[in-house]
A = this chain, B = another copy of it.
Amino acid sequence: MVVETKSARFDSIALDSGATLSPVEIAYETYGSLSADRSNAILITHAFTGDAHAAGISEETGKPGWWDNMIGPGKAFDTDRYFVICSNVLGGCQGTTGPGSVNPATGRPYALTFPVITIRDMVRLQRMLIDSLGIPRLLSVAGGSMGGMQALEWAVSYPDMVLSTIPIATTWRHSAQQIAFNEVGRQAIMADPDWAGGDYYDTKPPARGLSVARMVGHITYMSDESMREKFGRRLREKEKFGFDFGVDFEVESYLRYRGNQFVSRFDANSYLYITKAEDYFDLTNGTGRLAEAFRKSDTRFLVISFTSDWLYPTYQSQEIVRVLRRINGDVAYCDLQSNYGHDAFLVDIAEQTEIVRGFLASTARMARAA
């Protein structure tokens, strides 16, 4: 299935910060066909560094999508039955307007003049896209990690437009530890002289800082156990210990490789803006009253967490589930056994597939019955 990344353009978007961005572009892909009654659309929301290319083989790069094991004919998000949409987030760097985009007012990249954005702003732009595609209501919004935050925000901001949401390995607000890990990444980027106050688009990007930020990220995405299974203490190249600060252990070479690889595909300023959006995210707007936030919504929820995910630990999903139960919400919850840590939602898909498939089928049945 070869897919093409499309783009939609809107005159302007009003942001939470009070700023207006105009124009605004959004990159997206679609898989499957919209039914005649337009009732089978599902929006997939991507995690921090993801993009619109969630499934199929990219026409441009020849690469499979980041959730290709979950989206396609016969898969969890079955494109024989559903019309699946995925778009790149606002503030991103893979086709949607972000700090690296050219500001038409100046003819130069926004860099740090780009307005602060929030998860709600990302969702607002997604809604403009869904409207423009002529879809009155989504059968589901589903995503992991930051994608899960967007799914939750959809349920709260546009409850009439979402029949169900599937927040996976996520939280309704970042903990101090989650903010701290993001802050280290930001500091690594801003410590790189090449960052130059964000104004590096004419020179060279802060590759070293961005690479270090990514390395920290990778550790938090894996579990102690999955790292042990993948690398152990296996040495690389040298027989015994080395005599310089080169690579001794395989885990070191892996992290360096992934760090360097990331630099070629991601914009450092997007890293800053998007991690801040995650840190600001709070479904209750600071009140802490989660029940109130959900009360407006009669969306169905399928909440999924993973036992070895220590970046978005199980207890954070359970907080959401507990509150939804308290207000008699329609919520199913699974804490899936996995050793893959936070990465599990991308990797460990056998059980996830069955659960998501069943949940979508029952949601579709309920929609037809209503």
Contact call B280/A241, Cβ cutoff below 8 A:
yes
Closest 10 CB pairs of A and B: A191-B208, A176-B227, A176-B231, A176-B251, A183-B252, A177-B224, A241-B280, A177-B227, A180-B219, A184-B215
Tell me if A244 is interfacial: C-beta within 8 Å of chain B. Answer: yes
The 8 Å CB contact of A233, one of B179, B181, B190, B313, is B179
Tell me if A216 is interfacial: C-beta within 8 Å of chain B. Answer: yes
CB-CB under 8 A from A222, the residues of chain B are 177
Contact call A190/B245, Cβ cutoff below 8 A:
yes
Most chain B CB atoms below 10 A, which of A177, A259, A280: A177
A258 CB, nearest partner CB in chain B, Å: 11
User: Given contacts A184-B212, A190-B245, A216-B216, are A251 and B313 in contact (CB under 8 A)?
Assistant: no
CB-CB under 8 A from A17, the residues of chain B are 241, 243
The prevalent SS among residues of A at the interface is helix
Contact call A179/B251, Cβ cutoff below 8 A:
yes
Tell me if A71 is interfacial: C-beta within 8 Å of chain B. Answer: no
User: Given contacts A233-B173, A245-B276, are A179 and B252 in contact (CB under 8 A)?
Assistant: yes
The 8 Å CB contact of A191, one of B175, B181, B211, B280, is B211
The 8 Å CB contact of A180, one of B176, B244, B255, B282, is B255
Cα separation A232 to B176 with both chains bound (whole Å): 5
Tell me if A209 is interfacial: C-beta within 8 Å of chain B. Answer: yes
The 8 Å CB contact of A188, one of B174, B180, B188, B310, is B188
CB-CB under 8 A from A175, the residues of chain B are 224, 227-228, 233
User: Given contacts A216-B216, A243-B17, A272-B245, are A233 and B188 in contact (CB under 8 A)?
Assistant: no
Contact call B177/A115, Cβ cutoff below 8 A:
no
Cα separation A231 to B190 with both chains bound (whole Å): 23
Tell me if A4 is interfacial: C-beta within 8 Å of chain B. Answer: no
Most chain B CB atoms below 10 A, which of A187, A230, A256, A276: A187
Interface size class of A (residues with CB under 8 A): 35 or more
Tell me if A193 is interfacial: C-beta within 8 Å of chain B. Answer: yes
Tell me if A192 is interfacial: C-beta within 8 Å of chain B. Answer: yes
Closest to A191 in B: B208
A189 CB, nearest partner CB in chain B, Å: 9
Most chain B CB atoms below 10 A, which of A181, A218, A252, A313: A252
Tell me if A124 is interfacial: C-beta within 8 Å of chain B. Answer: no
Tell me if A153 is interfacial: C-beta within 8 Å of chain B. Answer: no
Cα separation A242 to B169 with both chains bound (whole Å): 27
A112-129 CB contacts (< 8 Å) to partner B: 112, 115-116, 118
Cα separation A269 to B41 with both chains bound (whole Å): 56
User: Given contacts A216-B184, A233-B179, A243-B17, are A193 and B191 in contact (CB under 8 A)?
Assistant: no
Tell me if A279 is interfacial: C-beta within 8 Å of chain B. Answer: yes
A272-319 CB contacts (< 8 Å) to partner B: 272, 276, 279-280, 282, 310, 313
Contact call B233/A116, Cβ cutoff below 8 A:
no
User: Given contacts A219-B177, A227-B177, are A212 and B233 in contact (CB under 8 A)?
Assistant: no
